[in-house]
Structure 1
Amino acid sequence: MRKISFRGWLTIVTLLLLAAVVVGAWPEIRKAIGLLDSINLWILALLIPVQFLSYYVTGEIMFSYLRAKGELREMSPWRMARTALELNFVNHILPSGGAAGFSYFGWVLSKYGVKPGRSTMAQIIRFALTFMSFLLLLLVAVVALIVDHQINRTVILLSFILAILALGATIGLVYVIGSQRRMQAFSSWLTRLCNRFVAWVTRGRKRDVLSSSVLLDFFDDLHGDFVAIRREKRILSWPFIWATIANLLDVALLWIAFWALGYPLNPATLFVAFGISSIASAISVTPGGAGVYEAIMIAFLASSGVPAEMAIAGTLIARISLIVLTVGFGYVFYQLTINKYGRRPPLSQ
């Protein structure tokens, strides 16, 4: 009988906690189910074009940077949008905090001659600029709530925490990749940490799964791109614009779901709720943050004055619709890519 892994135990504990939340909120869930009869399907159908536009815009954060670096001249806009959808699918299916997406994206772009370090830098730019534009939009959202007299201490505290997390992550990343010496020290530390962790999880059956030479070459490419960006800051202008639009579209998807229920929420409140839930789901052990995202979104909206049954119904309608579209179309395109290029090799090779 196989023993349950550490991740397996984390998943079990998470699911048990979510089950407890469902049991405790069951009366509100029953009321939320009753609200489903009032859905305007024509409004709900807007999720489909807006979601595909969201994938295209998210892809453009990375691809506009890569094109500015002279890459992907032969990749069509359709293929770029499709790759962004596949990337989202991989991150939803594999609970790895985004690591699976980094690996898959680099593998696909390698077929177009893009080096691993550069494809990773494109994704780092995506996350960094998304964070930065999110901070600006968060500030606008909080000011709007203050003017509208709809803000409380919870919103202020959580907004402050979000800002600190985003700034801390960005500053830490810039500090590490800004120095060749720090990059080399970090890559050596990361290699040892990963190999020790894998050896512990597999009870010594696998030890050196990550090659230090591969990681050093990868970080050298990353550092080179960072130095080039510092010399050409204007290269990030379009990626930043796309990142801002992507944030607005992500919140628009949630807003449409509540609108379909006849309860158009204040976009500012929804924006703060979206940020908190997204960060929590990013580090979740469940695929795509399923369960964690919904629980936090519902709890925040309810604490902000939204009726509990409406918070549950709107959140679940949005998430289920978006996940079905992501997994459905993403799986088809993912399989087409796998059939075309074959399985990707492990990182250590």
Structure 2
Amino acid sequence: MDHHPTASRRWPAPRADHERPATTLQWAGWLLGLLALAALAGIVLRRGEVERFLGLLGSLAPAWLGLAVVLQLATYACVATAWWLGLDRAGAHRPWNALIGLAVAKLFVDQSVPTGGIAGTAFLVNVLARQGVPRSACMATLVTNFVGFHGAYLLSALAGMGLLWLRHDARPWMHTITIVFVIVAAAVPLGLFALHHYGRRAPAWVERLPGVAALLEAAAEAPVAQLLRRGRLLAATAALNLAVIAADAATLWTMLHALGLHASYAVAYPSFLLAMMVATVSPIPMGLGTFEAASVAALSTQGVPLEGALAGTLLLRGCTTWVPMAPGLWLARRALREARDRA
């Protein structure tokens, strides 16, 4: 198989939506998120004890924090493995360690441009294509990961609600969020299949959506029917994404224990899932403020003190989102620069 696209079938130069100047709407989203986060902190610390909150942060157990770092490194390994399996099955082998850096960069793009994973996936596909991976292999891996990723999140969302229902901790707002998330999570892969069907004949407004334009160029060539018959590959990809979700929820559980709060994993898991669902359907970048509010509400519903729920959630976000942003930005820029050099 030829690993180099011909000149007549070249992909457009990689575009990263996070490199465009921020629009007024984007700035408004960041501002709303910061206000929501500040309001949440004010409400929690007014109802709780500021001294208790500061005391929890001051008594962090380093061993638990180290475990959280290991869990997060495992999530990047799982993401890289999922892409490695897809590319290898498509006949375009790539070094596993090279995909680790791209996994971190993809996280930065996904967090910066909240589009249900489309922007980060478009970024990764474009970079791989510029590195010599053929278009068909990129699209095959894209479809495989989309199906596995969203299938895993759908199963996890239902499992999380099942745990809350069994514990009699489910609330009406939780049911509403789960229903909305299930609709959104199902719509994203269905949208990809629509792109596969329409290709460049898709409506013009679709091309203006963040991350979508880069996919339209080759979406019609994705071997969807063939991929859907690869049950083992899809199952492995879904399992790896389930492992990512489990590790992220375990990171929340770890942070609670680092604070001296002995909450069970059965408490942390649905709380993380609800926060993730709220952040996914929220138009605010990175779910800023909305993720934290949902996590604190879910944890407190299950008996975790408000100040402990806030502290644990902030530590989780720092470990999963804010700390990786700097290396993610650097890796994303490096990948794009190398891709332009290859063009």
Same fold by TM (over 0.5)?
yes
Instruction: With the length of structure 2 as denominator, give the TM-score of the two structures.
Output: 0.78
Give the deviation of 1:152 after TM superposition.
Answer: 2.4
Contact kept in structure 2, 1:57 and 1:245, CA below 8 Å: yes
Paired position in structure 2 for 1:255: 253
Give the deviation of 1:305 after TM superposition.
Answer: 2.2
More off after superposition, 239-248 vs 277-286: 277-286
Deviations for 1:33-62, whole angstroms, at most 9, x for unmatched residues? 221122101211112222111111022223
Paired position in structure 1 for 2:315: 317
More off after superposition, 254-263 vs 236-245: 236-245
Paired position in structure 2 for 1:206: none
More off after superposition, 58-67 vs 38-47: 58-67
Unaligned runs of 5+ in 1: 199-209
Give the deviation of 1:77 after TM superposition.
Answer: 1.6
Paired position in structure 2 for 1:201: none
Confirm whether residue 6 of structure 1 aligns to residue 22 of structure 2: no
The verdict on how the C-alpha distance between 1:64 and 1:101 changes in structure 2, with shifts beyond 3 A counting, is: same
Confirm whether residue 45 of structure 1 aligns to residue 63 of structure 2: no
CA distance in 2, matches of 1:217, 1:338: 18
More off after superposition, 107-116 vs 294-303: 107-116
CA distance in 2, matches of 1:43, 1:256: 6
Give the deviation of 1:107 after TM superposition.
Answer: 1.9
Give the deviation of 1:84 after TM superposition.
Answer: 0.7
Paired position in structure 1 for 2:225: 227
Give the deviation of 1:319 after TM superposition.
Answer: 1.2
User: Which of 186, 192, 204 is the aligned partner of 2:205?
Assistant: 192
Letter in 2 for 1:235: L
Give 1:264-283 correspondences, 5 Å limit. Answer: 264-283=262-281
Give the deviation of 1:281 after TM superposition.
Answer: 2.0
Deviations for 1:76-133, whole angstroms, at most 9, x for unmatched residues? 2211112111111222344555343123212211134335575355345434323333
The verdict on how the C-alpha distance between 1:29 and 1:51 changes in structure 2, with shifts beyond 3 A counting, is: farther
Paired position in structure 2 for 1:56: 77
Give the deviation of 1:235 after TM superposition.
Answer: 3.0
Contact kept in structure 2, 1:89 and 1:327, CA below 8 Å: yes
The verdict on how the C-alpha distance between 1:313 and 1:231 changes in structure 2, with shifts beyond 3 A counting, is: closer
More off after superposition, 3-12 vs 171-180: 171-180
CA distance in 2, matches of 1:88, 1:10: 19
Paired position in structure 1 for 2:182: 166
CA distance in 2, matches of 1:335, 1:269: 38
Paired position in structure 1 for 2:150: 131
Give the deviation of 1:179 after TM superposition.
Answer: 9.5
Letter in 2 for 1:66: L
Please state whether the residue corresponding to 1:231 is helix, strand or coil.
coil
CA distance in 2, matches of 1:144, 1:62: 30
Give 1:326-341 correspondences, 5 Å limit. Answer: 326-341=324-339
More off after superposition, 332-341 vs 234-243: 332-341
Question: Once superposed, what is the RMSD of the aligned Cα atoms?
Answer: 3.6
The verdict on how the C-alpha distance between 1:305 and 1:134 changes in structure 2, with shifts beyond 3 A counting, is: same
CA distance in 2, matches of 1:95, 1:176: 16
Letter in 1 for 2:168: I
Paired position in structure 1 for 2:99: 80
Give 1:3-152 correspondences, 5 Å limit. Answer: 5-27=24-46, 28=48, 30=50, 31-71=52-92, 73=93, 75-115=94-134, 119=138, 122-141=141-160, 144=163, 150-152=167-169
Confirm whether residue 237 of structure 1 aligns to residue 258 of structure 2: no
CA distance in 1, matches of 2:241, 2:116: 20
Letter in 2 for 1:79: A
Aligned residue-pair number: 321
Contact kept in structure 2, 1:141 and 1:269, CA below 8 Å: no
Give the deviation of 1:32 after TM superposition.
Answer: 1.8
CA distance in 2, matches of 1:137, 1:284: 19
Contact kept in structure 2, 1:132 and 1:166, CA below 8 Å: no
The verdict on how the C-alpha distance between 1:132 and 1:51 changes in structure 2, with shifts beyond 3 A counting, is: same
Give the deviation of 1:251 after TM superposition.
Answer: 0.9
Identity %: 21
Deviations for 1:191-239, whole angstroms, at most 9, x for unmatched residues? 23555x89xxxxxxxxxxx97xx865422123xx211123333331321
Contact kept in structure 2, 1:281 and 1:290, CA below 8 Å: yes
CA distance in 2, matches of 1:295, 1:250: 17
Contact kept in structure 2, 1:135 and 1:163, CA below 8 Å: no
CA distance in 2, matches of 1:81, 1:36: 31
CA distance in 2, matches of 1:117, 1:316: 41
More off after superposition, 45-54 vs 161-170: 161-170
